[in-house]
Amino acid sequence: AAPMFHWGKWKKRMGASASSSKRPVFDEREDVNFDHFQILRAIGKGSFGKVCIVQKRDTEKMYAMKYMNKQQCIERDEVRNVFRELEILQEIEHVFLVNLWYSFQDEEDMFMVVDLLLGGDLRYHLQQNVQFTEETVKLYICEMALALDYLRSQHIIHRDVKPDNILLDEQGHAHLTDFNIATIIRDGERATALAGTKPYMAPEIFHSFLNGGTGYSFEVDWWSLGIMAYELLRGWRPYDIHSTNPVESLVQLFSTVSVQYSSAWSKEMVALLRKV
């Protein structure tokens, strides 16, 4: 049986108060709901249910609207993750993130209205065999570095930096999305949970899980960024890791495999990748 869950608690997190006080552009008294938007077209599925392009009727501004069925959310045991994502998104705003503008609910669904980015995600571009130049990858690294630096200032570890979660806008700038498994750590705390997508996870996450070590901190997102940058330049990742690999074998792998850098890359790029 599905666990009991009181959707009344959403009222505090979803609804007009959800637009963060840092965003004076919108009237805080305005109780935004589904009727304030015109649905233009569906654009697929994300981690948070389905996604469509919408236009806010009064301002004519375009957004992406993500919506998820509440019952499904309970059945898939995703309530906590959705809560956490909302909690985090309501407090942050940065030019290289996918920002939340409104959240609300009706009887069946909950909705998040976020920045609309139509340039596709980097996984899609990798699958299309796009040849990324060093210049382009440097730009992505710089933009993600600014985003990660900002997240650190807000005490947030993203934990899932990978091509699938980087969306491009129409000018080709990168924006980080999906705070589904992000965590907040306060002064000097360390995270310990095994969370992320295995091929992009830093060694200390596996070490911490296996040996109950000292845990890990913001640096794990930089490791993921380095893996991703390598993959964009080369078309494959520096370590042959799959989601099926047992954790023990991964710890072994990091200590034995040395990363091969392409001779075609500039010294600067190799130096940069070695650092992350």
**Core vs surface per residue 19-45: b (16+ CB within 10 A) or e:** bbeeeeeeeeeeebeeebbeeeeeeee
109, 115, 121, 160: the active-site residue: 160
| 19 contacts 28 by C-beta, under 8 angstroms | yes
Compute the distance between CA of residue 158 and CA of residue 62 in angstroms, rounded to an integer: 26
Check: CB of residue 133 under 8 Å from CB of residue 191: no
Q: What is the pLDDT of residue 1?
A: 43
- CATH code assigned to 8-114: 3.30.200.20
Question: H-helix or E-strand containing 10?
Answer: helix 8-13
Residues with Cβ within 8 Å of 167's Cβ and at least 6 positions away in sequence, in order, are 98, 117, 119, 120, 121, 174, 175, 177
The confidence score (pLDDT) of residue 214 equals 83
What fold characterizes domain 122-275?
A: Transferase(Phosphotransferase); domain 1 (1.10.510)
Q: Which residues contact 86 (CB under 8 A, 6 or more apart)?
A: 13, 14, 18, 100, 103, 112
DSSP state of 64: E
Residue by residue, pLDDT tens for the chain (276 residues) are: 444 444 444 444 454 434 444 443 445 556 899 999 999 999 887 666 899 999 999 999 999 999 999 998 888 888 888 888 999 999 999 999 999 999 999 889 999 999 999 999 999 999 999 999 999 999 999 999 999 999 999 999 999 999 999 999 999 999 999 998 999 999 889 999 999 999 999 999 999 998 877 899 999 999 999 999 999 999 999 999 999 999 999 989 998 989 999 999 999 999 999 988
174/56 Cα distance (integer angstroms): 24
All structural domains of the chain with their residue ranges: 8-114, 122-275
Contact predicate 162/200, CB 8 Å: yes
Residue 16: CB partners within 8 Å, gap ≥ 6?
28, 29, 30, 31, 32, 104
Are 7 and 110 in contact by the 8 Å Cβ rule? The answer is no
How much is the pLDDT for 81?
86
**Distance between CA atoms of residues 53 and 44, nearest Å:** 10
Q: Is 12 known to sit in a ligand binding site?
A: no
**Look-up of token digits 């108060």:** 17
| CA–CA dist 207, 23 (Å, integer) | 40
Cα–Cα distance, 271 to 276 (Å, whole number): 9
Give the C-alpha distances (Å, rounded to integers) separating 161 from 58, 180, 214, 274: 35, 11, 22, 18
Cβ neighbour number for residue 136 with a 10 Å cutoff: 16
State residue 31's pLDDT score.
Answer: 83
Is 187 annotated in the active site?
Answer: no
The answer to whether the beta carbons of residues 237 and 162 sit under 8 Å apart is no
